[in-house]
Amino acid sequence: MSPQGPKKHDVDCKTMDFHYPWTSDLNFKPYLTNLNDFVGREWMLEDLSYELLKTERRGMLVAAELGFGKSALISHIACSHDKQSSGFPIFEKTTVIHLCKYDSNLTLNPGVFVRNMAGKLSELYPEFGNIINTDSTASSYLFSSKCLEDPNGCFDYVILYPLQEAKIVQRSLMIIIIDALDECIEVGSKNIFSLLRQKIYQLPPNIKFLFTSRNISNIKGNLPPGVSVYQTPLFWKNNLNDIKRYLIKKLENNTVSEQFQEMLSRSGSNNVIEKLAELVGENFLFLVHALDFWIKEGNVNYQPKTVENIYQMNVIRILGKK
C-alpha cells in the first residue's frame, strides 16, 4: 500500500459531505482520495471485514506505529467502490467517517463530531432525520451552540434516541470509522475517545466501529467494551511482503533500481528488493516519500527533505511543541 500517491477521480469516495438538514462542518474530502499506487493490505482487510460483519464485536482497532500507513488504509476503504476490492465489504457498510488531526481543532471537538455524525445519518436515513427535526430538544442542540458546549448530552438526543427509534436504522449494519484516535485525545479529558467509551455500549448492536491509532497504552488499555485490537501472528511478515510488492511495482523498469543495485552490491547484497525492505523496516511512510523523491531526482544519493519534514512534524505532534 501507499500512504500517499497520485489522485484519481474521487467522486465515488465516501466523505462526510452533506447539505441537508444542514451543511457538514467537516467533509474530509482532501484526505479521502483514491490512491493510484495503493498496494497490499488484503490480508488485514479480509480479517477486519470478518470481525466487523460476521461477529458480535462492537469494533476493531488497528494499532501500529508512525509510518505504517493507517490513514492510507482508511482512505483506501473510503474509496473502495469497486466490488472486487478487498475494502469493498467495509466500504459498503460505512456510514460515518471521522479523521482526527492534531493541528485542526474542529476535528478534535467532540461536539463537532456528534453534529457531523447526526447530519450524515439524517441524509442517509430520512426516518432518522425526521425524528431529530420533530424533537425540540434535539433541534435546540443542533441549531445552537449547545452541542459544542455539551457533546455528551447532544449525543443522547441526536444520536442515541433517534437510533433507538428509527426502525430502518435498526435493521442495517452500519460501520463508523474514526482515524487517529491517538490524536483525538490531545485536547484533554473531554474528547471524542472518552465520549465513545461512555456511549458505545448504549448504541444498537448493529452499529460497529473501525478505529486506528498509534500503538499506545492510553488507547489500547482503555477501549470501550466489545472493541478489540486487531492482531495476527503474521502481522509483520505480511507487512514486509506488502513493502516488497510496493517496491517491485515502483522500481519496475526504473533507472533508479540500477543505482540501488550498484549501491547495495557494494555492501554485499545482490537483491535490491530484499535489502530495501530490510532497510525501511516497517515504515511505509519513509519508503513512499524517499522512493518517490529518488525516482523523481534520478539519484539515490540525494536526501529527500520531505522525509525530514514529516518526522519533524510528528515529533512535534507526539512530544509537544516547545
Beta strands in the chain (DSSP E): 59-63, 94-99, 174-179, 207-213, 227-229
* Model pLDDT for residues 272-309, shown as the tens digit of each residue: 566 666 656 666 666 666 666 666 655 555 555 555 55
Cell of 4: 500517499
Distance CA 244, CA 124 (A): 40
Amino acid present at 95? T
Q: Tell me if the bond preceding 110 is cis, omega within 30° of 0.
A: no
Q: 41 pLDDT exceeds 50? A: yes
Among residues 247, 219, 286, the alpha carbon closest in space to that of 66 is found at: 286
Query: How much of the chain, in percent, has pLDDT values that exceed 70?
Result: 74
* Model pLDDT for residues 72-99, shown as the tens digit of each residue: 899 999 999 989 999 999 999 999 999 9
Q: 159 pLDDT exceeds 90? A: yes
Q: 136 pLDDT exceeds 80? A: yes
* Three-state secondary-structure class, residue 26: coil
Q: Where are the domains of the chain?
A: 42-229, 235-319
* Three-state secondary-structure class, residue 305: helix
**Hey, how many other C-beta atoms are within 10 angstroms of the C-beta on 210?**
26
Which pLDDT belongs to residue 314?
52
Query: How much of the chain, in percent, has pLDDT values that exceed 90?
Result: 55
Distance CA 189, CA 182 (A): 13
| Selected residue with higher pLDDT from 150 and 298 | 150
Which pLDDT belongs to residue 282?
62
Q: 180 pLDDT exceeds 90? A: yes
| Selected residue with higher pLDDT from 241 and 168 | 241
Which pLDDT belongs to residue 293?
66
Q: 7 pLDDT exceeds 50? A: no
Which pLDDT belongs to residue 39?
76
Q: 62 pLDDT exceeds 90? A: yes
Please give the biggest Cα pair distance in the chain. 74
Which pLDDT belongs to residue 15?
95
Query: Mean of the per-residue pLDDT values for the chain?
Result: 83
* Three-state secondary-structure class, residue 86: coil
Q: 196 pLDDT exceeds 70? A: yes
97 Cβ contact list (under 8 Å, min separation 6): 14, 15, 16, 28, 32, 74, 78, 176, 177, 178, 179
CATH number corresponding to 42-229? 3.40.50
pTM over 0.95: no
Which pLDDT belongs to residue 222?
93
Contact 178, 192 (CB under 8 A): yes
Which pLDDT belongs to residue 141?
96
Which pLDDT belongs to residue 9?
42
